[in-house]
Structure 1
Amino acid sequence: MPVPSEADDPIDEAFAAYLRSCDEGSVGSREEFLAQFPEMAEELKSLMDAADAIHRFTGASVPDSGEVAQAAAAADTVDVMVAGPDDSGDDPAATLPEAHRPKGDPGPTLPYTLGDYELLEVIGRGGMGVVYRATQRMLNRTVAVKMIRGGMLACENDVRRFYTEAQAAARLHHPGIVPVYQFGHEAGHHFFSMALIEGTDLQRKINDGELPIEDAARYVRDVARALEHAHQNDLLHRDMKPANILIDQKDRVHITDFGLAKNLSTDSSVTGSGAAVGTPNYMAPEQAGGHSDRATRQSDVYSLGAILFACVTGRPPLVGDSVVETLMQVVHEPPPAMRSFRSNVPTDLETIVAKCLEKEPRKRYQSARDLAEDLDAFMEGRPILARPRGRLLKMWHWVAGVPLVGALIGRKIVRTSPGHRRFQAAMLLLLALSPFLFVIGAMLWSHHIEAMPQSVTLAGGLDQGTYNRVSQALADRLEQSAGVATRVVASGGSLDNRQRLIAREVQLAPMQASAISGDELCVIAPLFYEAAHLLVRAPELLEHQDSFGLQFLAGQRIAVGPIGSGSRRAADMILDSLKLPADATPREVIPWDRLQSTDAPDVALICVGRGSELVSQLLRRDWRLVAIPQGITISMQHPTLRTITIDPTDYPTAGIPEGGLATVGTTAFLVTRRDAPSALVQTTLELLYQSPRLFVDLIPRERAAEWQGLDLHHAARGYFESLDIESR
């Protein structure tokens, strides 16, 4: 606490007198006491209310008059036990003028004989004790003697805590822990003697200026090793802070002040459930929340992380304007980044500190030894075990600090930064503008998805098939006229094209009518008719051809297209309608260019566009076209098939009768996804019907009305409807 100014002296003296009276039980009521100081009654009442708030926050009952002094003492547990050239310059109690020191604790007149000890000078004062440089006459050595403040007026709890500190330290034997020599009661004074550490303490080093990072890591590593010794002996410190770490003239650390220690083996301590004990800035969240009885080894590890933070940055991780606010921050607020106070902090060291300062004990280092080993690794340039928090987690912790977000998730926000307030203001503004932004976004998104893509991929079909030829011709026009980069990929036919469209591998694909299904696909335009070409090459089969049926095919091997192709799908429907099952009439997949081989079947059923070059080549050899007269029956069983006639002009040298050859066929459509950009569909239609005709068998756009019942893309429907209006 700061040294009081002259203007504040009367209030300080009055409040100190009030605390002493409460401690001694000599005060009547608060109102009677305030009546003695009418000119400063309001200021004194504010200080008393603050003391009440501390008790309420820590879970204790609202204090009676005698309890307030005890609460005030617990708020500051600093006990300085070092001797050096400036022994009193940084200790608040030691710097007070004699007139401002507690009147109930003047202390003995020095030099003073206390049993075997000669008290020579005061070297430190704290919330509970006074430390003297003394000479132990019998052993002729200089020691430090700590006496309880208040002397014979000390309350029972202070005495118990005083002896807890002495007994706890006396059972530990480690070079990093100040050893206790003797404790007892002499001439009404409770005291214990311990080694005198010539040097300073870590808090003073922090106050003197920025510590080198290597020194900060070394100090805390050595403290962690000493603390591990205490933990191995079932002793928790529970009040680790820089002022309780002494540094001797050889730059070695020594832990002191075990006044709040807890013996894990006996589950005993000087505090009970519901008390927040320790120093708020360095207290673990479980202690700050009023559960000091739940403190574990990880609670001391948290304090070590806070100490390392202070060594590197010059300040504790969480600092509030009051004790209560600091405790609230420790419980609820994440610590700030060390680099926000010192830019050159190594990432590994920041990661180590962050692991120590986790709110949940299970996420911290599980022992002080683990922390020491990670600090060793950091100092030696080896990989550390701690892992940094992910960016998403860091971002979430920051966003959770926004008051509005904190209220929604039930997190208590103690203090908000300007950045959090600006972010919240932006959130509220965005919320107010969200309807307008939604409309604008929807418009922009609609424009984006409806715009012409920069590149287009089209599916083709089987090698030498009509699908490949049509897709390539359309791709050439898109590239030349619309300036769109295009690519045609070969496929296994209609069913393969369907899967590629659904998987978004292609944007446009020719497809047989029977393959168009599902909610994701729709039609752009009809392309051409595909006729079922039944070809036979064995003369004996032609001689036995039944003009009223195709029963002569029973038992014959029939070449059909591969599974997944439109040709195969049409062939299966036709043969099934003719009651020629696959087990009685084997269906074989063979490349069409191998139909001339001697081991190929003598019958082939190919569903392609009329005038096909493939069929023309076969007809120039030994193959002949055969009619499929049952077209009406077949089309009734399979609505995607229809009766069709192969004209003599389709194959001039094939000897087709003047009236044509009856067969069945289907329609090939250009298909896309339902969410395809309107600009792509519109441009494709314009180029598809652009002169000269894209291919000979293209169904004219004037006849597209025949397929208006199909599920057309909305842009295609608009295109054809506009043509219908123009024709009227």
Structure 2
Amino acid sequence: MPVPSDPVPSEADDPIDEAFAAYLRSCDEGSVGSREEFLAQFPEMADELRSLMDAADAIDRFTGAANGDSFTLGTSQRSAAAAGADTIGGMIVDPDDSGDDPAATLPEATRPKGDPGPTLPYDLGDYELLEVIGRGGMGVVYRANQRMLNRTVAVKMIRGGLLACENDVRRFYTEAQAAAGLHHPGIVPVYQFGHRAGHHFFSMALIDGTDLQRKINENEMPIDDAVRYVHDVARALEHAHQNHVLHRDMKPANILIDDKDRVHITDFGLAKNLSTDSSVTGSGAAVGTPNYMAPEQAGGHSDRATRQSDVYSLGAILFACITGRPPLVGDSVVETLLQVVHEPPPMMRSFRSNVPADLETIVAKCLEKQPKKRYHSASAMADDLDAYLEGRPILARPRGRVLKTWHWVSGVPLVGALIGRKVVRASPGHRRFQAAMLLLLAMMPFFVVGGAMFWSHHLQLMPEQIVIAGGLEQGVYNEVADVLAERIGKNAEVPTEVVATDGSIDNRQRLLSGEVQMAPMQASAISGDHLCVIAPLFYEAAHLLVRNQALLDSAAVSPSVGWLSGQRIAVGPSGSGSRRTAEMILDSLDLPAQSTPRDVIAWPQLDTDQAPDVALICVGRGSSLIADLLNRNWRLVSIPQNILISMQHPTLRPMTITRDHYRSDTIPAEGLSTVGTTAFLATRRNAPSAMVEAALEALYQPPTIFTGLIPRERAAEWQGLDFHLTARHYFELLAVDHSNAGGD
């Protein structure tokens, strides 16, 4: 800070001004011990004087920072590594930079009263300061001669003298102590530090040469040279880490290169001692150089810095050596910090096309946002760089294509907002992608409607082949399916096929699985949300048959079914609807399976001697199966309580079997009472409309497909059925036409 001239007292002078002027003179003369000692002399104005002293400190640091080391970003910074410059202790010197009078940087406390200040060379105890070789925001570095050892060294002295704030002094001594405890050829050694003539200073080795930032600025660096430099820095940094010291400000300007092309780490001003948890910064402070600091440091958590934080900086330095620029560069310090925290680094190949893939992988691993994904140590990174230089496989694995794609897509501002990622600056590619996304979103309703219409139209088209389920051998289902398939194939000119099944339950499973498109089945088998009705086909009656004369005699004299108790009853194959209907009837007649065993057998087995003497078969009246059994000593008997049974089961209804159905004298003239159900032609609810229309046309075209077929006029009256939409529309139009015809 410039030394003010002696004030001229006057009656108008303020006592606070006079006291502050006296303090400044004392600082210049070196006669004041400390601020507190001086303030104790003026207790009535101590607070006002302390405020003036703090303001003087702030002004001095501001003016010093304006002329020295400040945050610099990317390749746009002014290169202090111009030709002929020297570097020392992290300071870069330009001989052409006249700056302020060098004398103004010498210890203020040694200036005689009225003297603007001493000049170089200057005597500082054992050191003779020869020239200024570096100037920063906190300190000044001199080339000096150490008399006792007769060697040239560098002396770094804190700026501000007695006005230096406590934090500046702590940082200054942190740098000296951290470096002094490290002994490695890749780290600039510190010789001595202390306090003399009102100023803090330390001496260190003078490195003749250049620094890595100057190398980067000069020309495109050979890739192998860049790898070698960073490899050697990593080994030196590992030594610091092994001695519990984090650097926290690794950058190219803090890596010196001597005249033998060897690297030296310097400037431990932001170092942290892990063994004592000592640091010049606390939580909430972002310390370091923005382009090279790790995300956890840039986010204001420098107290959480670990060895992986320095590893991140090494990756950023290697990136800069190869591409000529740091990984992330913003237009301001704040924007750079935000990019470091939130933005993924670009690929080195986007700036230098000949970068090897393994090197890209090593740098990408160093620059991971999460510390645990980086190399666990600087030594591990150096090992992979060794492997690269020697042509061996590296341990780091590249990011997968999916992860790379996701990282790129998440950089789109709209996507970043949705997933909670802050996108600081979107590239032109990201902006174009977002514009395409917004256009697609705007057009999405039209695409959805158009796609739905197209898909709906596609679903209504006739299938390339129609497969219809049949039923049991000699069953009516097979007869109906055969004729229906023949007519559809002829009318619609589409291949058709009929597959034999075990009956209604089997047909239901085949429809649900998509194995068949249509199937006849009993009403009880049509349930759930996926199946619906095309048309009712015919009624099926329960036929109770007996072949044992004694049982026939008992049935003739007993109005109940007590004679059936204890008898084995054949109820049909396992997949048939007949079996389900038979079990419903037997349960209603209080004939449980424990007392009246139910044999699940195929109907042709009724001709064997091992077959039961009683069978309950639910098929269409006039079935050839029943007619054949009646011709082989089987007799039909009535099922009592048919009305009560139908009330218990909505799918069953009372029926009568007469001689018109079977020409047999064993059937009484009044017929036999029984119950029955209805067979339907069923399909899936999403079946094509064209197929349903073809099935209805084939079903009702003359001649009648089956003698017992329910006429379409009667089918149109069944409005309570769960019809397919196309079938419902068909029968509704038929009902309207029939009504109009009756009105005429």
Normalising by structure 2, we get a TM-score of 0.74
Q: Which residue of 1 aligns with 2:156?
A: 147
Secondary structure of residue in 2 paired with 1:276: coil
Q: Which residue of 2 aligns with 1:603?
A: 614
Q: Which residue of 2 aligns with 1:632?
A: 643
Q: Which residue of 2 aligns with 1:670?
A: 681
- One-letter code aligned to 1:98: D
Equivalent residue for 2:271, pick from 261, 280, 283: 261
Q: Which residue of 1 aligns with 2:28?
A: none
Change (3 A) 1:506 1:69: farther
Report whether the alignment pairs 1:357 with 2:367: yes
**Per-residue CA distance 1:579-635 (angstroms, 9 max, x = gap):** 322222111212333333322222222223345454455445443443435433322
Secondary structure of residue in 2 paired with 1:605: strand
Secondary structure of residue in 1 paired with 2:556: coil
Q: How many residues are treated as equivalent by the alignment?
A: 669
**Per-residue CA distance 1:671-713 (angstroms, 9 max, x = gap):** 2343444344334333444556555554343331242211212
Q: Which residue of 2 aligns with 1:318?
A: 328
Deviation at 1:162, TM superposition (A): 3.5
Q: Which residue of 1 aligns with 2:536?
A: 526
Q: Which residue of 1 aligns with 2:285?
A: 275
- CA separation in 2, counterparts of 1:502 and 1:239? 69
Equivalences for 1:180-329 in 2 at 5 Å? 180-184=190-194, 190-194=201-205, 196=207, 201=212, 204-205=215-216, 208-209=219-220, 211-212=222-223, 219-246=229-256, 253-329=263-339
Deviation at 1:281, TM superposition (A): 0.6
Q: Which residue of 2 aligns with 1:98?
A: 97
**Per-residue CA distance 1:427-474 (angstroms, 9 max, x = gap):** 555565565555445544543444445566655556775556655665
- One-letter code aligned to 2:177: Q
- One-letter code aligned to 2:93: A
- CA separation in 1, counterparts of 2:489 and 2:163? 97
| Mapped contact 1:84–1:199 kept (Cα < 8 A) | no
Instruction: Name whichever of 649-658 and 188-197 sits farther off.
Output: 649-658
| Mapped contact 1:23–1:70 kept (Cα < 8 A) | no
Change (3 A) 1:151 1:498: same
Q: Which residue of 2 aligns with 1:68?
A: 62
Equivalent residue for 1:169, pick from 175, 179, 187: 179
- One-letter code aligned to 1:260: L
**Per-residue CA distance 1:183-224 (angstroms, 9 max, x = gap):** 456786834223737675266257522543x66556545544
Q: Which residue of 2 aligns with 1:710?
A: 721
- CA separation in 2, counterparts of 1:105 and 1:342? 46
- One-letter code aligned to 1:243: A
- One-letter code aligned to 2:281: T
Deviation at 1:172, TM superposition (A): 2.0
Q: Which residue of 2 aligns with 1:420?
A: 430
Normalising by structure 1, we get a TM-score of 0.76
Unaligned 5+ residue runs, structure 2? 8-54, 107-117
- CA separation in 1, counterparts of 2:3 and 2:346? 39
| Mapped contact 1:129–1:149 kept (Cα < 8 A) | yes
- CA separation in 1, counterparts of 2:101 and 2:704? 109
Deviation at 1:238, TM superposition (A): 0.6
- CA separation in 1, counterparts of 2:460 and 2:294? 58
| Mapped contact 2:566–2:595 kept (Cα < 8 A) | yes
Secondary structure of residue in 1 paired with 2:308: helix
Q: Which residue of 2 aligns with 1:582?
A: 593
Deviation at 1:131, TM superposition (A): 6.2
Deviation at 1:320, TM superposition (A): 0.6
- CA separation in 1, counterparts of 2:579 and 2:562? 20
**Per-residue CA distance 1:117-165 (angstroms, 9 max, x = gap):** 7888887766656667778777677x76253475969945555434322
| Mapped contact 2:85–2:95 kept (Cα < 8 A) | no
Compare CA radii of gyration and give the structure with the larger one. 2
Change (3 A) 1:621 1:721: same
Equivalences for 1:652-691 in 2 at 5 Å? 661-690=672-701
Change (3 A) 1:442 1:657: same
| Mapped contact 2:531–2:682 kept (Cα < 8 A) | yes
Secondary structure of residue in 2 paired with 1:270: coil
Q: Which residue of 1 aligns with 2:34?
A: none
Deviation at 1:488, TM superposition (A): 6.4
User: Identity over aligned residues, as a percent?
Assistant: 66
Deviation at 1:85, TM superposition (A): 9.0
- One-letter code aligned to 1:68: F
Equivalent residue for 1:720, pick from 710, 717, 731: 731
**Per-residue CA distance 1:275-333 (angstroms, 9 max, x = gap):** 32211111122322333233233322322332333344432221111222212222333
Unaligned 5+ residue runs, structure 1? 1-19, 27-60
- CA separation in 1, counterparts of 2:225 and 2:495? 64
